[in-house]
């Protein structure tokens, strides 16, 4: 008998069709009446496909008493109710590594976009304002880059930054012994070192508002903050104040504390580049993420180990 799978979040384009070959698939994310669908099929659902942003809610888990596996498109686990899910013996699979290149590219793109005023210039030209209010940009090459989280993505960002002749430092809980970059055991000290500070640590309570007023002060008036990790890691009120008061130069933000809500003050700022949580959103990466979602579900329901389990 085919296992029943619930689609609980937006999926890459290659997922649903493939899952329908092997499973009975219920698209809760796209359902006209999600509550009615859940009431009808909830107890029969054995697998969930979701993504790292929409994840699963406690209410959804309440309705799925026979759930065995959650396969998430994405690497972040902060929306997956990990503690509860683990306690219930539910397996979790994510999509590491396949997104490293594109997220790293986007971090570099944001550094360039903010420092070289790429979006402001585009807005000016379209509005017929040409150089009005542009001032001069700020060089990226040869500057100091601080990376908060030298993990899978952080390391790829560092490699790209090397090609820009940047001096690289990082902060996380453990020192990496296999890299030539400078380790800072204090985030404030890393910020003090940095011209650009890129945030790429996981979200959740351990990193909540880690980039606070003190860190932004240390980054200083020439400093640029880039966040491609999670919005929860940055104290958004402190960031808005630092930008408004010119205590940092600018920011490039892919993620926000309460998506899709963006602090309205940021919308009016030319020194800020904003994006709708888009760093992994290329065709190539999303197809690879989708394939891992499918392959993990197939592995689980054919009695094989998961390809990319959450450890
Ligand atoms: P990873 O390989 O697990 O790396 C995370 C790094 O963060 C590790 O090196 C870890 O080092 C450090 N870290 C973890 N907790 C920390 C803490 N409390 N304080 C300081 N450092 C900490 O993860 P990844 O694959 O690079 O992904 C990183 C994050 O990027 C994901 O969790 C996700 O939230 C985000 N992301 C965003 C997008 C997007 O679209 N914007 C796409 C993909 C991923 P230590 O263990 O030594 O602390
Ligand atoms: C995606 C992400 O944008 O991997 C993550 O943790 O945040 C991103 O890759 C997300 O999974 C939406 O599908």
Domain spanning 4-97+284-301 has what CATH number?
3.40.50.720
The minimum-distance atom of ligand 2 relative to the CA of 9 is 13
3-state DSSP helix/strand/coil percent for the chain, to nearest 5?
Answer: 40, 20, 45
Question: For ligand 1, which residues put their CB under 6 angstroms from it?
Answer: 75-76, 96, 99, 103, 149-154, 172-174, 200-203, 206-207, 228-230, 254-255, 277, 279-280
Q: Is the beta carbon of 75 within 6 A of some atom in ligand 2?
A: yes
Which residue spans of the chain are classified as CATH 3.40.50.720? 4-97+284-301, 100-274
Neighbour count for residue 168 (Cβ, 10 Å):
21
How far apart, in Å, do the first and last CA atoms of the chain sit?
A: 30
What is the residue whose two structure tokens read 């609980």?
8
DSSP annotation of 211: B
Exposure on the CB side of residue 93, measured as CA atoms within 13 A: 24
What is the residue whose two structure tokens read 């859940």?
38
pLDDT at residue number 122: 98
Residues 98 and 211 sit within 8 Å (Cβ to Cβ): no
Give the Å distances, CA to CA, from 238 to 141, 203, 207, 212: 28, 18, 15, 6
- pTM for this structure? 0.98
Give the Å distances, CA to CA, from 298 to 49, 278, 292, 308: 12, 27, 10, 12
Q: Is 277 a catalytic residue?
A: yes
Q: Name every residue whose Cβ is closer than 8 Å to that of residue 246 and which is 6 or more positions away in sequence.
A: 221
Nearest-CA neighbor of 104 among 155, 58, 143, 56?
155
Distance 265 CA to ligand 1 centre (A): 27
User: What residue's CA is closest to ligand 1, atom 3?
Assistant: 151
pLDDT at residue number 93: 98
* CATH superfamily of the 100-274 domain: NAD(P)-binding Rossmann-like Domain (3.40.50.720)
Query: Residues in the chain with pLDDT < 50?
Result: none
CA distance 72 to 242: 35
Query: What share of the chain in percent tops pLDDT 70?
Result: 100
- The full DSSP string for 122-175 is HHHHHTT-TTTTT------TT-EEEEE--SHHHHHHHHHHHTTT-EEEEE-SS-
Q: Give the model confidence (pLDDT) of 33-80 as tens digits.
A: 999 999 999 999 999 999 999 999 999 999 999 999 999 999 999 999
pLDDT at residue number 311: 81
What is the residue whose two structure tokens read 């963006």?
262
Residues 149 and 172 sit within 8 Å (Cβ to Cβ): yes
- Among residues 277, 286, 298, 300, the one annotated as catalytic is 277
């Amino acid at each position: 008998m085919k296992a029943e799978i619930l689609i609980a979040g937006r999926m890459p384009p290659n997922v649903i069709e493939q899952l329908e070959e092997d499973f009975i698939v219920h698209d809760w994310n796209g359902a006209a009446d999600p509550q009615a669908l859940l009431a009808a099929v909830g107890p029969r659902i054995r697998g969930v496909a979701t993504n790292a942003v929409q994840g699963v809610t406690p209410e959804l888990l309440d309705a799925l008493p026979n759930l065995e596996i959650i396969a998430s498109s994405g690497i972040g686990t902060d929306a997956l109710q990990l503690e509860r899910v683990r306690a219930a013996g539910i397996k979790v699979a994510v999509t590491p590594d396949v997104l490293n290149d594109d997220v790293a590219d986007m971090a570099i793109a944001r550094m360039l976009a903010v420092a070289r005023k790429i979006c402001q210039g585009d807005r000016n030209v379209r509005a017929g304002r040409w150089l009005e209010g542009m001032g001069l940009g700020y060089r990226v090459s040869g500057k100091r880059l601080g990376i908060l989280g030298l993990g899978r993505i952080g390391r790829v960002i560092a490699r790209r930054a090397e090609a820009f002749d940047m001096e690289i430092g990082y902060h996380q809980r453990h020192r990496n012994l296999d890299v030539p970059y400078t380790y800072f055991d204090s985030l404030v000290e890393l910020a003090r070192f940095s011209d650009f500070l890129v945030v790429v640590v996981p979200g959740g309570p351990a990193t909540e508002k880690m980039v606070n007023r003190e860190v932004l002060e240390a980054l200083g008036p020439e400093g640029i903050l880039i966040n491609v990790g999670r919005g929860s890691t940055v104290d958004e009120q402190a960031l808005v104040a630092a930008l408004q008061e010119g205590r940092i130069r600018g920011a490039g933000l892919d993620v926000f504390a309460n998506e899709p809500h963006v602090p309205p003050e940021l919308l009016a700022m030319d020194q800020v580049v904003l994006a709708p949580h888009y760093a992994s959103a290329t065709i190539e990466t999303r197809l690879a993420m989708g394939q891992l979602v499918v392959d993990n579900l197939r592995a689980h329901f054919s009695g094989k180990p998961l390809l990319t389990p959450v450890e």
